[in-house]
Structure 1
Amino acid sequence: MARIAYILLCHKDPDGVIAQAERLTAAGDVMAIHFDARASLVDYGRLRDRLKDNPNVAFATRRVKCGWGEWSLVQATLNAVEAALDAFPQASHFYMLSGDCMAIKSAEYIHDFLDRDEADYIESVDFFSSDWIKTGMKEERLIYRHFLNERKHKRLFYWSLEVQRRLGLRRTIPADLQIQIGSQWWCLRRRTVEEILAFLRDRRDVIRFFRRSWIPDETFFQTLVRHLVPETEIRSRSPTFLMFTDYGMPVTFYNDHYDLLIGQDTLFARKISPDALELKARLGRLYASTGVAFPISNEGRKLFQFLTGRGRIGRRFAPRFWEAEASLGRERELMIVTCKKWHVAKRLVERIRQVTNLPAVDYLFSEEDTPLPDLGGIETTLEKRTRHRRALVRMLFDYFETDRLILCMDTANLDLMQDFYADSSTTRLLEIDCAFSDDYLAGHARRIGLAGDQTPRAAMTRLLPTIRYDIRSEADRIRDARFPGHYRLREGASVDENVPPLAGFLDVPENTAREIAATDRLFAD
C-alpha cells in the first residue's frame, strides 16, 4: 500500500501545522517540514517541541528564507525532500503541500487512488506553446537572469530586466531540456524523486539556470519530471484542487464549501481559511473515516466562475461595433425571440416558419452547430459571429432575400439586443416567459457544467436559488431596458391572452397569431 511522505512548506500558524501533521501521520503516513527561516524563531521552536516525539515527522536540516518567485522556494522543497528520503525509507510517494492545504478525501481513498495507477501526478505542459501563462512576462522568465525579488524591489527588478534587454544579455536554455510549466502542488513517486536528485548531482548547470529564473517553482520539477519520466507514467494534472480569482489570487475556501470540495476529482484542496474551523473539523473527521464513497461531480471551477460573475453585469469591457457599413438597413425588420428555455423558442419559431413562411435562425450566438449557410467563414465560430454580428445578420438578410428575419437569443444576451436596437433597422422583441421547476433548473445546471450527475443533493439545493435568481434578473434587465416593440408571451397565460402580443410582434392578423399560439405542447419540457 502507498505510504506518503508529505512535503510541507509553511511559514506561519504553528498550531495549524501541528494539527495537520498529527492528523496526516495518524493514518500511517509521514511528513517532512520546512518552516521558513524568515518566520518567528518562537513559532519554530514551538513546532519542533510539540512534534519532537512523533517518529513520523522530520524537519529539513537547513532552513532557507523564502520569497515569492525566487529559487528559495525550490531549494526549500529540495531540502525537505532530502530530509524525507533519509528519514523515511518506506515512503513510496512524496506529496507537496502548504500549511493552507487540507485533505478532501479519506486517507483510505487517497491510498487506494495512488495504488491504482503507477504514475506521477504533476501538471506539466509546454512552457512556450501552451497558454498556461495568461498575462505578463513569458520567455523573459527564462532568457534573462533574475537576481531580485519582484515584490520587494519592483523598480530595481524591472530596471535590471530592461538593462539586460538593451545590452542583449540573453542566455540560452540548457539544450537538452524542454521547459515545462504547471502547478507547484504535485505528488511524485519515490523513484522519480531519487532520479531528480541524482540528475541534479551531475547537472549543476541546470541548478544554475533555474536559480536565476523567475518563479522557478512553476517550471523546475515540471521540466525535470518530463525529462526523466516516460510520458505514459505522467498524469499532467495537480492532485490538489485550487482556483484563482480574476486578479490572480488563490481562492480561499470557507465553512460552506464542504460539499463542493469533496465532490472534486482531487485529493487535497488549497487554500483553506484559518477561520474555517467548522470546515477543518469536518475534513479532519472525513480523513480518518473508512468506507466512504465519494461521488465526483467536479464542477468546482465552472461553479466558481458562474457565482463570482453575478452582480457584475455592466462592468465588463465588451466589444463594440459602430461600423457604418455593418448597418442592417433602414428598410429591414429584425425580430428577436428571447427565451431561457431554448427548446420552447425553437418550437415556437418552427411553427412561425410553417404558418408565415418567415425565415428564422435559431440560437446562432449561443450554439456552435446552429444550421447556417456558407457566408464566407464569418459563420464558422461563435466568437466570429458575435464579433461581426451586424455584418453576419446583414448577410443572412441577403441570403434569404428578405426584409424580415427572426433570430432566437438567450435572455443573457442583453448586449446583443441593445446593439441591434441601436441599428437603423426596425427591431422588435418577443420575450417568452416560462416557468422553471426545480427539476428543470437542476438539469440546466448539469447541462452548463455547474453540477454533475454526482453532485450532492444538499449542494444542489443551495445552488438552485442562485440559478433561479440569475434567470429572473436577466428578464428584469431586459424589461428595464425599455425596448420599443417589446412583447411578452407567458406560459401561464391562455391562448387568447397570448394572441395579441404574438400578432403585434409578427405584424400578422390575430387568426394567424392564434394558429401559432395554439401550438400543441408549446411550453412542454
Structure 2
Amino acid sequence: MARIAFILLCHKDPDAIIRQAEMLTAVGDYMSIHFDARAKTEHYRKIRSALADNPNVTFARKRIRCGWGEWSLVQASIHAVEAALEAFPRATHFYMLSGDCMAVKSAAFAHEFLDNDDADYIESFDFFESDWIKTGIKEDRLIYRHYFNERVQKKRFYAAYHLQKKLGLTRSVPADLQIQIGSQWWCLRRRTIEWILDFTRKRRDVMRFFATTWIPDETFFQTLVRHLVPEKEIRTRTLTFLMFTDYGMPVTFYNDHYDLLLSQDALFARKISPEATELKTRLGALYANEEATFQISDEGRNLYKFLTGRGRVGRRFASRFWETESSLGRERELMIVICKKWHVAKRVIQRIRQVANVPTIDYLFNEEDTPLPDLGGIQATLGKRTRHRRALMRMLFDYFDTDRLIVCMDPSNLELLHDFAGDRSTTKMLEIQCEFTDAYLTGHAKRVGLAGEQTSAATLERLLPTIRGDMTYESDRIRDADFEHHSVIREGAEPDENAPQIARFLDIPPEKALEIAETPKLFAD
C-alpha cells in the first residue's frame, strides 16, 4: 500500500504546521519539514518540541534562508527530501506541500489512488514551446545568470540582468536536457526521488546551471523527471488543486468552499485562508475518515472563471481595424434570431424556412460545427468568423444569392449585435425569451462545464440563481441597447400575441406569422 512522505516547506504559523503534521501522520504517512532559516527561531523550536515524539516526522538537517524565485527553494526541497528518504524507508511516494495546503480527500482515497497508477505526477511542459509562462521574461530566465532576488533586490537584479544583455553574456542550456516547466507541487515515486538525488551528485554542471536560473522551482524537478523517467510513467498534472487570478496571484479558499474542494480531481488544495478555521477543521477530520466517499465533478476552474467574469462584460462598441471592411450592402437585410436555448431558435428558423422561404444559418458564431459552405477558409474557425464577421456575411449573402439572410446568435454576443446594427444594411432582431426551469439550468451548467455529473445538490443550489441572473442580465443588456428593429416573442405568451412580432421581423402576412407561432412544441426542452 502507498505510504506518503510529505515534503513541507514552510516559514510561518507554527501552530498550523504542528496541526498539519499531526493530521497527516496520524494515519501512518510521514512528513519531512524544512522551516525557513529566515523565520523566527522560537517558532522553529516550538515546532521541534511539539513534534519531537512523533516518529513519523523528521526535519531537514540543514535550514537555509529561502527567497521567492531563488535556487534556495529547490535546495531546501532537496534537503527535506534527503531527510525523508533516509528516515522513512517504507515511504513509496514523496509529495511536495506548503503550509497553505490541506488535504481534500481522505488518506484511504489518496493511497488507493496512488496504488492504482504506478506513475509520477508533475507538470512538465516544454519551456520554449509551451505557453505556460504568461507574462514576464521567458528564455532570459535561463540564458542569463541571476544572482539577486527580484522582489527584495530589484535594482541589483535588473542592473545585473541588463549588464549581461548589453555585454552579450549569454550561456547555453545543458545540451542533453530539454528544459521543462510546470507547477512546483508534485508527487513523485521513491525510485524517481532516488534517481534525482543520484543525478544531483553526479551532474554538478547541471546543478551550477540551475542555481543561477530565475524561478528554478518551476523547472528543476520538472526537467529532471522528464530526463530520467520514461514518458509513459509521467502524468503531466499536479495532484494539488490551485487556481490563479488575472493578476497571477493564487486564489484563496474560505469556509464556504468545502464542497467545491472535495469535488475536485485532486488530493490537496492550495491555498487555504489562515482565517478559514471551520474549513481547516472539516478538512483536518476528513483525512482520517476511512468511510468518506467523493463525487468528482472537477468543475472548480470553469466555475471560478464564470463567477469572476461576471460584471466584466466589455462595453466597447468602436470597431477594430479588421472590422472596417465594407458594408454588407445598403439593400440587404440581416435578420438575427437571438435565443439562449439554441434548440428553440433552431426549431423556429426551421419553421421559418418552410413558411417564409428565407435562407437560414444556425449559431455560426457560437458552434464550430455549424454547417457552412466552403468560403476559402474564412469560415474554418469561430475565431476567424468573429474577426471577419462582415466579410463572412457578405460572402454568405453572395453564396445564397439573396438579399435576406437569417442567422442565430446567443444573447451573450452583444458586441456582434452592435456591430451589425451599425452597418448600412438593415439589421432586424427577433429575441426569443424563454423560461428557465431548474432542470434546464442544471443541464446548461453541465453542458458548459460549470458543473459535472457528480456535482452536489448543495453546490447546484447556490449556482443556479447566479446562472439565472446572468441570463436575465444578458436579456436586459439587449433591451437597454435600444436596437431600432428589435422584436420579442415570449414562451409564456399565446401564439396570437407572438405572431405580430414574427410578422414584423420577417415582413410577412399575419396568417403566415401565426403558422410559425403555432408550431407544436415550439418552446419544448
TM-score by length of 2: 0.98
1:356 equivalent in structure 2: 356
On the 8 A contact 1:32/1:60 being kept in 2, the answer is: yes
Tell me how far apart the structure 1 counterparts of residues 460 and 337 of structure 2 sit (CA, whole Å).
30
2:277 alignment partner AA: L
Tell me how far apart the structure 2 counterparts of residues 265 and 282 of structure 1 sit (CA, whole Å).
18
On the 8 A contact 1:94/1:189 being kept in 2, the answer is: yes
2:243 alignment partner AA: M
1:271 equivalent in structure 2: 271
2:451 equivalent in structure 1: 451
2:152 equivalent in structure 1: 152
2:249 equivalent in structure 1: 249
1:12 equivalent in structure 2: 12
Tell me how far apart the structure 1 counterparts of residues 474 and 235 of structure 2 sit (CA, whole Å).
41
1:46 equivalent in structure 2: 46
The secondary structure found in structure 2 opposite 1:326 is coil
2:328 equivalent in structure 1: 328
Structure 1: gaps (5+ residues): none
Percent identity between the two aligned chains? 71
1:61 equivalent in structure 2: 61
Deviation at 1:158, TM superposition (A): 2.4
Tell me how far apart the structure 2 counterparts of residues 325 and 109 of structure 1 sit (CA, whole Å).
58
Structure 1 pair 478–321 and aligned structure 2 pair: CA distance change class (3 A): farther
1:219 equivalent in structure 2: 219
2:170 equivalent in structure 1: 170
2:524 alignment partner AA: A
Q: Deviations over 1:387-413 (max 9, x none)?
A: 111111111111111111111000111
Q: Deviations over 1:16-60 (max 9, x none)?
A: 111000000101111011111111112112111111121111111
1:479 equivalent in structure 2: 479
Tell me how far apart the structure 2 counterparts of residues 315 and 167 of structure 1 sit (CA, whole Å).
47
2:116 equivalent in structure 1: 116
The secondary structure found in structure 1 opposite 2:222 is helix
2:371 equivalent in structure 1: 371
On the 8 A contact 1:319/1:387 being kept in 2, the answer is: no
On the 8 A contact 2:323/2:390 being kept in 1, the answer is: no
Tell me how far apart the structure 2 counterparts of residues 151 and 419 of structure 1 sit (CA, whole Å).
45
On the 8 A contact 2:317/2:419 being kept in 1, the answer is: no
**Segment drifting more, 398-407 vs 161-170:** 161-170
The alignment of Structure 1 onto Structure 2 pairs a total of residues equal to: 525
Deviation at 1:152, TM superposition (A): 1.6
1:399 equivalent in structure 2: 399
Deviation at 1:295, TM superposition (A): 1.4
Tell me how far apart the structure 2 counterparts of residues 92 and 408 of structure 1 sit (CA, whole Å).
56
1:519 equivalent in structure 2: 519
Deviation at 1:155, TM superposition (A): 3.2
Tell me how far apart the structure 2 counterparts of residues 395 and 65 of structure 1 sit (CA, whole Å).
65
On the 8 A contact 1:326/1:394 being kept in 2, the answer is: no
Deviation at 1:153, TM superposition (A): 2.3
Structure 1 pair 519–281 and aligned structure 2 pair: CA distance change class (3 A): same
Deviation at 1:473, TM superposition (A): 0.5
On the 8 A contact 2:323/2:388 being kept in 1, the answer is: no
1:90 equivalent in structure 2: 90
How is 1:116-515 mapped onto 2 (pairs within 5 angstroms)? 116-314=116-314, 320-321=320-321, 323-515=323-515
Deviation beyond 4 Å, 4+ runs, structure 1: 315-319, 321-324
Deviation at 1:325, TM superposition (A): 3.1
Tell me how far apart the structure 2 counterparts of residues 153 and 416 of structure 1 sit (CA, whole Å).
48
2:49 alignment partner AA: D
Tell me how far apart the structure 2 counterparts of residues 318 and 304 of structure 1 sit (CA, whole Å).
29
2:191 alignment partner AA: R
2:481 alignment partner AA: A
Deviation at 1:524, TM superposition (A): 0.4
Deviation at 1:318, TM superposition (A): 9.4
On the 8 A contact 1:241/1:264 being kept in 2, the answer is: yes
Tell me how far apart the structure 2 counterparts of residues 114 and 322 of structure 1 sit (CA, whole Å).
51
The secondary structure found in structure 2 opposite 1:487 is strand
Deviation at 1:476, TM superposition (A): 0.6
Deviation at 1:302, TM superposition (A): 0.7
On the 8 A contact 1:101/1:269 being kept in 2, the answer is: yes
Deviation at 1:91, TM superposition (A): 1.1
Q: Deviations over 1:83-106 (max 9, x none)?
A: 111211211111000000000000
Please tell me the root mean square deviation across aligned C-alpha atoms, in Å. 1.3
Tell me how far apart the structure 1 counterparts of residues 192 and 323 of structure 2 sit (CA, whole Å).
58
Deviation at 1:113, TM superposition (A): 0.8
Tell me how far apart the structure 2 counterparts of residues 465 and 5 of structure 1 sit (CA, whole Å).
43
On the 8 A contact 1:10/1:98 being kept in 2, the answer is: yes
The secondary structure found in structure 2 opposite 1:352 is helix
Deviation at 1:109, TM superposition (A): 0.5
Deviation at 1:183, TM superposition (A): 0.7
Tell me how far apart the structure 1 counterparts of residues 84 and 367 of structure 2 sit (CA, whole Å).
52
Tell me how far apart the structure 2 counterparts of residues 404 and 189 of structure 1 sit (CA, whole Å).
65
Q: Deviations over 1:105-125 (max 9, x none)?
A: 001101111111111111111
Tell me how far apart the structure 1 counterparts of residues 39 and 184 of structure 2 sit (CA, whole Å).
21
Q: Deviations over 1:189-243 (max 9, x none)?
A: 1111111111111100011000011110000000001111111111111011111
